[in-house]
Structure 1
């Protein structure tokens, strides 16, 4: 895996560059496969990216949207990654409802919902229980603890390698998350990381050797492209690495 790292002047420049890369990869996937599959991230950093994508002229009917992880809250809850992406992007354009594939969070049983979404992904990609689909684009963030998606340090979900979707854990709160093998099957992973509070975790994640369990973003080594877009505050000290 070749890691491509770009350090942008500020968050606005990061969002502009991310929008360029995502649009290019959406168009390339549609040209190659007649559709594009993209998994979205939650958090504050990607929200302006979704707002920027809403201004693009893209064939929305050929794009299928998934989520890399989801808080275990109803879809209309303020903390829902699904709700944020709908408001910032999907509801602003003529996006077909059948092309939107949220993680289910309504069963009152996180494991049952993870099982359901696992099956939904297998059905969509027409794969067997042991097949790993390759999404065209997966957007990820990274916390100041080095987590990505809902893969938190020292949690059991880091060991899951026989499913596409599993139950993560944040301070005792369940989350649904793509598993490491599914993330690593992607044709393109794009990390968006902003803020000086990310500097230490980035140093650990980019180090030649380190503790993957303590800094789970180290696990993400996709078979396709791997981009890290950082703002200057986050990337300070990495320019020479």
Structure 2
């Protein structure tokens, strides 16, 4: 099920999504009875205003674990690193009290890191996640043009993390699997522009061989879409 929230400009979109995510995190913290809650976020250029707004939300950030939906297999010093973006824009102001759990560790191999993440109980199933989406219909780093065995594994495995080697996009990736995405308590999608809205509508109207369609057509999934025309 998709619930569309439409905005005319990115600032209004970012502010509304920050309030919604803050509310969802607050509800998770209240239900956790003193335990922690986990927020998973995406990278790219679109989330920056949202991260800056979310960093100001009055939450018990010292009880929040922030992690990533996916990341490129590059060091944090690389401009392509989603972890770097999160440190620079989200883990500031009130949100600086959160605990950050990055996905990438280039001191080991990608396969070794995936195994370690799946074995590490501190990387919990996220309570709240904010996704992005490409014009090819990928979300997280679940690319349909990855090698066929990786794509099939990403869709079918019960494990939380998978390795992905996209065909057209640069860099190998660490990503939450499809089952992990479907298991998130509160799932948001942040997109902008008419083209991406058209891709989403097409993906939701009939099953397609891309990640957003697999997610949107699952009857057990509710996806709150925050879309800006610009």
Q: Do they superpose with TM above 0.5?
A: yes
Distance in 1 (CA, whole Å) between partners of 2:226 and 2:176 is 21
Distance in 2 (CA, whole Å) between partners of 1:31 and 1:123 is 20
Aligned pair count reads 219
Q: Residue 31 of structure 2: SS of its match in structure 1? A: helix
Aligned to 1:95: 96
Q: Residue 100 of structure 1: SS of its match in structure 2? A: strand
Aligned to 2:29: 30
Distance in 1 (CA, whole Å) between partners of 2:95 and 2:45 is 24
Q: Structure 1 residues 193 and 94, CA, compared in 2 at 3 Å: closer, same or farther? A: closer
Cα shift at 1:222: 7.9
Distance in 2 (CA, whole Å) between partners of 1:83 and 1:216 is 25
CA displacement, residues 128-183 of structure 1 (integer Å, 9 cap, x when unaligned) = xxxxx4x2111100011111110112324332213211111223631110000001
Q: Residue 173 of structure 1: SS of its match in structure 2? A: coil
Cα shift at 1:203: 2.8
Matched, 1:159 2:152: yes
Write out aligned runs for 1:76-115 (5 A): 76-93=77-94, 95-96=96-97, 99-115=99-115
CA displacement, residues 175-197 of structure 1 (integer Å, 9 cap, x when unaligned) = 11000000100101100001233
Gap regions ≥5 residues in structure 1: 126-132, 234-241
What RMSD in Å do the two structures reach over aligned CA positions?
2.0
Cα shift at 1:39: 0.3
Asked if the contact 1:38/1:64 (under 8 Å) is kept, the reply is yes
Q: Structure 1 residues 109 and 49, CA, compared in 2 at 3 Å: closer, same or farther? A: same
Between 173-182 and 50-59, report the one with greater CA deviation: 50-59
Q: Structure 1 residues 21 and 63, CA, compared in 2 at 3 Å: closer, same or farther? A: same
Distance in 2 (CA, whole Å) between partners of 1:199 and 1:124 is 32
Q: Residue 172 of structure 2: SS of its match in structure 1? A: strand
Cα shift at 1:123: 4.5
Q: Structure 1 residues 206 and 223, CA, compared in 2 at 3 Å: closer, same or farther? A: closer
213, 217, 220: which is aligned to 2:212?
217
CA displacement, residues 70-117 of structure 1 (integer Å, 9 cap, x when unaligned) = 0010012111101001100214446357x2110023135211111112
Matched, 1:228 2:225: yes
